[in-house]
């Protein structure tokens, strides 16, 4: 069945260093739609990035990700971490024609001064 | 203000009781969802409705039942709650393209 894997449960970085959060997925559908949602403390998840185009970089709020169908990956990156980036990040796969999202386990990103 | 609203924010109850959570969206969306976020922050779809029609019903215990009166409202009833039902229940909605989902603030349930 459809699934999403985020290998890191916790990523701790010093402010100013680059961020990379891993996301891989499995689906039988040939045109997957991938998302990154961010959840700050005591808030609800909100969309950060989305893409269904192979090998095209998508960017928002300093973050970027590229969907690579060849490796079934959609890693999230940022060149320089900020304290305000500390949050829980979810990678998600949309199940075609149902609209439901399959979420990965989530990666907690903690940025230290 | 257009958004997704949920009530109550927080609910404490005892094992075996019945609870109901409400969700309303003023975004004009056609599809609404219920997700469960457990203590380990795992986020999992439970149900989704499109224009009052149930389209997704994941494998959840029968004590959970969604109810939709119109496309702007989706409630969740839990009959005879159990300790493992303690979680945050998140309501979300999306438009007919069903790509971006907008989440409500959540209802935190604690079952004693």
Q: B8-29, pLDDT tens digit by residue?
A: 999 999 999 999 999 999 999 9
What pLDDT, in 10s, does the model give residues A6-64? 999 999 999 999 999 999 999 988 889 999 999 999 999 999 999 999 999 999 999 99
Q: Which two tokens stand for residue A100?
A: 């439901």
DSSP state of A101: E
Work out the pLDDT band at B1, boundaries 50, 70, 90: low
What pLDDT, in 10s, does the model give residues A93-105? 997 777 788 999 9
Mind telling me how many Å the CA of A23 is from chain B's nearest CA?
Answer: 15
Contact criterion met (CB < 8 Å) for A105 and B99: no
Contact criterion met (CB < 8 Å) for A98 and B56: yes
pLDDT confidence of residue B15: 97
Neighbours of A18 (CB within 10 A): 10
Residues B4 and B23: beta-carbon distance below 8 Å: yes
With an 8 Å Cβ cutoff, is B43 touching chain A? yes
CA dihedral A67, A69, A73, A76 (to 10 degrees): -10
With an 8 Å Cβ cutoff, is A102 touching chain B? yes
Contact criterion met (CB < 8 Å) for B41 and A98: no
Contact criterion met (CB < 8 Å) for B99 and A43: no
């Amino acid at each position: 069945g459809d699934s999403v894997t985020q290998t890191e449960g916790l990523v701790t970085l010093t402010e100013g260093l680059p961020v990379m959060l891993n996301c891989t997925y499995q689906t039988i559908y040939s045109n997957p739609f991938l998302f990154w949602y961010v959840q700050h403390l005591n808030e609800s998840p909100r969309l950060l990035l989305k893409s269904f185009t192979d090998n095209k970089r998508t960017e928002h709020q300093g973050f970027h990700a590229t969907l690579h169908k060849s490796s079934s990956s959609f890693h999230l990156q940022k060149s320089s971490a900020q304290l305000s980036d500390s949050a829980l990040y979810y990678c998600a796969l949309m199940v075609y024609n149902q609209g439901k999202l399959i979420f990965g386990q989530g990666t907690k990103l903690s940025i230290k001064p | 203000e257009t958004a997704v609203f949920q009530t109550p924010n927080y609910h404490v109850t005892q094992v075996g009781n019945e609870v109901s959570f409400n969700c309303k969206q003023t975004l004009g969306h056609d599809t609404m969802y219920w997700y469960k976020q457990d203590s380990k922050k795992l986020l999992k779809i439970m149900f989704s409705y499109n224009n009052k029609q149930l389209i997704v019903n994941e494998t959840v215990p029968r004590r959970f039942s969604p109810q939709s009166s119109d496309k702007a409202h989706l409630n969740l009833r839990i009959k005879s709650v159990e300790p493992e039902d303690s979680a945050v229940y998140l309501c979300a909605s999306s438009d007919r393209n069903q790509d971006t989902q907008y989440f409500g603030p959540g209802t935190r349930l604690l079952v004693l």
